Amino acid sequence: MAAGPGGGGCARRGRWGRGCPVRGLLSGALLLLASGLRRGAAELTDGNNEHLKREHSLTKPYQGVGSSSMPLWDFQGSTMLTSQYVRLTPDERSKEGSIWNRVPCFLKDWELHVHFKIHGAGKKNLHGDGFALWYTRERLMSGPVFGSKDNFHGLAIFLDTYPNDEATERVFPYISAMVNNGSLAYDHSKDGRWTELAGCTADLRNQNHDTFLAVRYSRGRLTVMTDVEDKNEWKNCIDVAGVRLPTGYFFGASAGTGDLSDNHDIISMKLFQLMVEHPPEEESIDWTKIEPSVSLLKSPKDNVDDPTGNFRSGPLTGWKVFLLLLCALLGIIVCAVVGAVVFQRRQERNKRFY
Ligand SMILES: *[C@@H]1O[C@H](CO)[C@@H](O)[C@H](O)[C@H]1NC(C)=O
Ligand SMILES: [Ca+2]
C-alpha cells in the first residue's frame, strides 16, 4: 500500500515526488473500497512508516572494499568494487556478475530503493543485456537469467536493455516483474514475455543524471517505480495485487552481457521496512512457508503492451467495475425515462384518433 498521510513512504531522501501523496490517497481510498471495510482504516502502526535496514542495504563506500570480504554482501563473477560503485559487469562480452545480501530478510513489508547506472559505448540496440534485482531463496548461483539462476523461487525485476525478440513491438529498455515457484523458466529469446506479470518501458540507459528504481512489496501488492528522467519524482511502472512472497529470502542483483555489452553499476541498494498492520489470521501463519505465487484475473500470456506503465490490475479493477455498473445503471434509467415519455406521447396521439 502507498504511504499514509504525510507520506513517509513517499520520501526518497525526503522527496518521493509531488505525484505520490495524491496517488497514495487515491489508491488508499480505492484499496479501502476494494479490500473491504472489514478492517477499517487501520494502516500504519506509527507516524514514521519507513526505516532503513542497514543489514539489507548496500551503500558507499561499501564496507570492506579492497578486501574480498564484505560482511553483509557476497559477490561473484565479473563483479568489481570501487569506492563509488559496484560494477556487476564491465562493458565487455560474455560477462556475468552478481552481488547478494548474506542476511535473509524477515520483513513482511518492505521497499527497496536502487540507485544504478547502465552505460557503455554501444549505440542504439547494440548493447546488453541488462540486469536483474532479486528477492529469492537461491543466492550466488550463476546462470542464464541476467547472470543468475533460472527456475528460481521468489521475485525478479528485470531491467532488460536489449530486445532479443525481433518481432516485439515493445520499446526497450523494458522493465518487467516475474514471480516464480521454481517451475517457470525465463525465455531469454522472448525477453521473458510469457512469464511476465507486468512491465513498462523506461529510458534508463546512458543517462547523464542519476537513475533510480523502487520496488515496494506490502500486503501482497507489488509496486515498481522509476526515477530516470531527472525530474526528482517517482513514476509508476508496475502495480500488481495478489502477489504472495515468503519471508526469509535474499536480496541480490545480477547482470550479464553476451555478444553485446554494457557497464552495469549499482551505486546503492537501500531497504526500508514499512510499518504495516496485518489481520490476525495473517499474523498466525508461518510466513517462511509461503509458496511464491500470484493470483491473477487474467493469464500473464494475455499481456498487452501498456506504454504508459500505469495501473493495470489490483484495486483499480474493482473501481472500474463499479464505474461500469454505474454507467449501465444510468443508461437504464435514461432509457426508461425516454421510453416512458415516448409511450405517453403515443397514448395521447392514439386518444385523438378515437
Ligand atoms: C507452481 O506454479 C505453477 C504455475 O504457476 C503451478 O501450476 C504449480 O502448481 C505451482 N506449484 C506449487 C508447488 O505451488
Ligand atoms: Ca532481452
Of 151, 152, 183, the residue with max ligand 1 atoms within 8 A of its CB, to mutate for a pocket test, comes to: 183
The least confident of 79-93, 259-273, 310-324 is 310-324
Residues 6+ apart with CB under 8 A from 200: 174, 175, 224, 226, 236, 237, 238, 306, 307, 308, 309
Cα-based distances in Å from 335 to 321, 340, 343, 347: 21, 8, 12, 18
Ligand with the closest atom to the CA of 290: 1
**Cα-to-centroid distance, 140 and ligand 2 (Å):** 21
- Measured by CA distance, the residue closest to atom 7 of ligand 1 is 183
- List, for residues 167-205, the tens digit of each pLDDT value: 999 999 999 999 999 999 999 999 999 999 999 999 999
Model confidence over 276-302: pLDDT tens digits? 999 999 989 999 999 999 997 554 545
Give pLDDT tens digits for 242-256.
999 999 999 999 999
Give the type of residue at 301.
Answer: K
pTM, to two decimals: 0.74
Residue of the nearest CA to atom 14 in ligand 1?
A: 291
Output the residue whose Cα is nearest ligand 1's atom 11.
181
**Which atom, in ligand 1's list, is nearest to the CA of 181?**
1
Q: Which residues line ligand 1 (CB under 6 A)?
A: 181, 183, 291
Which ligand has the minimum distance to the alpha carbon of residue 262? 2
CA of 199 to the centre of ligand 1 (A): 22
Say which residues have a Cβ less than 8 Å from residue 301's Cβ, sequence separation at least 6.
Answer: 194
Could you tell me the distance, in angstroms and rounded to a whole number, from the CA of residue 309 to the centre of ligand 2?
18
